[in-house]
Amino acid sequence: MPEFIEQLPCHEPQWNQISSVERVQTYQQGIFLICDGNLNLTLSVLAPNLIRVRFSPTVDFIPRRSWSVAIADEEWDTIPFEIEETEKFINIKTAEITVCVQRDPCRIVFIEQRMGNTFAGDTDLGIAWRQNEVACWKQIGAGEKFYGFGERTGLLNQRGKHLTHWNTDCVGYEILTDEMYQAIPFFMSLSPQVNYGLFFNTTYKSQFDVGANQSDILQLHTQGNELDYYLIYGQEPATILNTYTKLTGRMSLPPRWALGYHQCRWSYNSETEVRTLAREFRQRRIPCDVIHLDIDYMQGFRVFTWHKQRFPDPKKLIDELTGQGFKVVTIVDPGVKYDPEADYEVCDRGLENNYFIRNKQGKIFHGYVWPDRSVFPDFIRSDVREWWSSLHKNLINKGVAGIWNDMNEPALDDRPFGDSGNKISFPLDAPQGDPEEQTNHAETHNIYGLMMARASREALDRLRPKERSFVLTRSGYAGVQKYSAVWTGDNHSLWEHLEMSLPMLCNLGLSGVPFVGADIGGFASNATPELFARWMQIGMLYPLMRGHSVIASKRHEPWEFGTEVEDICRQYIELRYQLLPYIYTLFWEAANTGAPILRPLLYHYSDDHNTQELYDQLLLGESLMAAPVYRPGVEHRAVYLPQGTWYDWWTGECYQGSKYILAHAPLAKMPMYIRGGSIIPLAPVMQYTSESAVNQLRLRVTPGTGEYTLYEDDGTSFAYRDGLWSTTNYQVNTEGEQVIIDIQARQGNWNPAPRQIIVEVVGKGVQEFTDDGTARKLQF
């Protein structure tokens, strides 16, 4: 009983349920149902596998917001569907699914056409509402497993958990943490019968109860005034993600340099220290493309300023770093120091134009962040985003190539940092947004960080129009992939956090966010040499490969742990740079289909029950699998090989799949495997991605049957949008003892630099030729 754990008994208000459907009206995209006299329920057919369900307990639906992350219904092509009405049911049929609506009581169930399996069916409660809350209850099947949900701690399958979507500064998060930096109310359900995805289209605080209260019941609950969800059917996870990212947006191609190694610390607090850092990387021959500057580059932590003593000539510094092959990324926080008499233009213009958030009574809201008392722009307003974007010129004109948004949940205290204050947020009733659609912070909290990232992206696109942008954000919402890469925030130098990064990043990828990473070595506390070496090994596969550490910790640069660890770090960072042609093609795939770059095995082997709970092995694309070590003192680990043939990356040893093997993994080795019938392109090692033209491309091929398309362009400009790109299709077939490689003629208008192609068929031999873009056939 609650009173036994110091809680008083609670009787929650009763839910009001929809009892019956009284009238049915059809329109171009679906049906409009009148329930119980004045309750609105619509079912819209947006694609053969995509249905939007929307319910309002009032007469009218909320108008579409200008900042809505889902594309408007009218932007979808018109899809043919059939409507059948009987005395008890109303059925909407597309080529792939049927939506069956029971008239009395009103309940919805979905049926896939292929085998007739039902899924996502309403329970006895169905859809219900009470004051400022709407919810829906659905049945969970016996073998159903749930993935995605954005940024989540714990393991891969999230069944049995209660998951809240409310962006929070969760420093010190651990396996039981619920509210995280990112709020992405999307999940993917896989079961032996049918697979589907669901996007809960609400920016209000919301929850998914995934069988936590009742093991066979899924509850969708929002503190908003409407129920709005999109149901996506798909036989494969890739189909579900393709449709979901068509709905919420896909990433654009990043600059190639952003795929290299990033080095960061809170803080490299002077230009002298930054120059020393750059020199160490180049002298030690450890590849690195990006140096991040944390808050100490600013004057008194005032955003869009440079510290006059520590960084007296930032343009000169960045020009020097550019000459050495480094790009510079600077942090930008949302809190603006309240400094109205100090000639601080950001504060002055924001006050003058009423750009900062006020409470309901009209008083400017303030909180405490790094610069002490701070005020906060209303990024929900389009004019404020445009102003904020323009402020980036003081960074970009100095040569800054990327922007890192932090503290944008928002994170703030009720008293100066350093005091024992309490974390606070904006008042939930604080007005936000453009005048014509003004709402309050209760609705916009979860998109505050998203809109800040959008403003940063628009700044880079405007101020660096000939070069692609890189934005990194800590906070975001569904659709964040359109504007920014994401990292998992303030993790710790703990083996548990190394282990947890694997399902966290995979679930982000299964939530439509492919450009993700975790701080290598752990942000807070001190990494041990062994932990750092193991983390660098798996970090080599993170889409965003960044080392980062907190101000009070031991330094976490690769050479800080002794010669053995430095050599291991060099080896795996070099391997990252060799794999860049393969990784860059994966980014191209993500930009076009929404596919994750780092994938759990279930993404390609969802019918294999052994993969559905397997969180500690990863696929980089479809062909390369890693089984990292995430415990101290471990030199052997079990590795599951899915169906097919697999080859040890290091030795070429061949294994038949659908079984476990025991892999030897001394400190310098992370077990890695290539799927049979794969082609993986490898470039020469470089100290930075643009050090020289790629004059040699090595294709590592494993016997079997398969194909691979390599994508290439200049890696920096937008010329690919005008056709300046190329693709080359490679096919491998095995006939008896002979392996045949068919290379198709290069397609597209971009011509790579002159280069040699070295084709290495594992266990068979090597052939070499000069690449002129023509078709050819090789036999081994």
Q: What are phi and psi of 747, to 5 degrees?
A: -105, 150
* Distance separating alpha carbons of residues 343 and 352, to the nearest angstrom: 13
Rounded CA gap, 658 and 217, in Å? 33
Closest CA to 327 of 391, 281, 390, 387: 281
Report the SS3 class of residue 239: helix
Q: What is the largest CA-CA distance in the chain?
A: 82
Dist CA 669 CA 46 (whole Å): 48
Give the chain's end-to-end CA distance (angstroms, integer). 72
Q: List 208's β-bridge partners, or say none.
A: 163, 220
Which two structure tokens, joined as six digits, stand for 491? 């993790």
What's the burial of 507, exposed, middle or buried (CB within 10 Å: 0-12/13-18/19+)? buried
DSSP tag of 383: H
Which residue bears the tokens 């603006």? 336
Annotated catalytic residue within 133, 144, 339, 409 = 409
> In 3D, which of 131, 128, 107 has the Cα closest to residue 118?
107
Task: Give Cα 275 distance to the centre of its chain.
Answer: 32
Detail the DSSP E strand segments found in 173-276: 182-183, 186-190, 196-200, 206-210, 217-222, 227-233, 261-263
The Cβ of residue 56 has, within 10 Å, a number of other Cβ atoms equal to: 19
CA–CA distance, 177 with 181 (Å, rounded to integer)? 11
Torsion sign (Cα): 560, 565, 566, 568: negative
Token match 């008499």: residue? 341
Q: Is 183 left (phi over 0), alpha (psi -120 to 50) or beta?
A: beta
* 136 in Cβ contact with 208 (< 8 Å): no
71, with CB counted inside 10 A (0-12, 13-18, 19+), is middle
* Whether 74 is catalytic: no
Q: Rounded to whole angstroms, how far apart are CA atoms 205 and 183?
A: 9
Annotated catalytic residue, options 151, 226, 339, 406? 406
Cα gap 294→273, rounded to integer Å: 13
In whole angstroms, what is the distance from residue 208 CA to residue 161 CA? 8
Q: Which structure tokens are listed for 258?
A: 């952003």
The C-alpha angle 350, 356, 362, rounded to 5 degrees, equals 125
> DSSP assignment, residue 352?
H
Q: For 65-83, what is the HEC assignment?
A: CCCCCCCCHHHCCCCCCEE
Q: From the candidates 490, 566, 616, 760, which is the catalytic residue?
A: 490
3-state secondary structure 582-644: HHHHHHHHHHHHCCCCEECHHHCCCCCHHHCCCCCCEEECCCEEECCCCCCCCCEEEEEECCC
CB 501 within 8 A of CB 637: no
Residue 490 annotated among the catalytic residues of the structure: yes
H-run or E-run covering 86: none
Residues designated as active site? 406, 409, 490
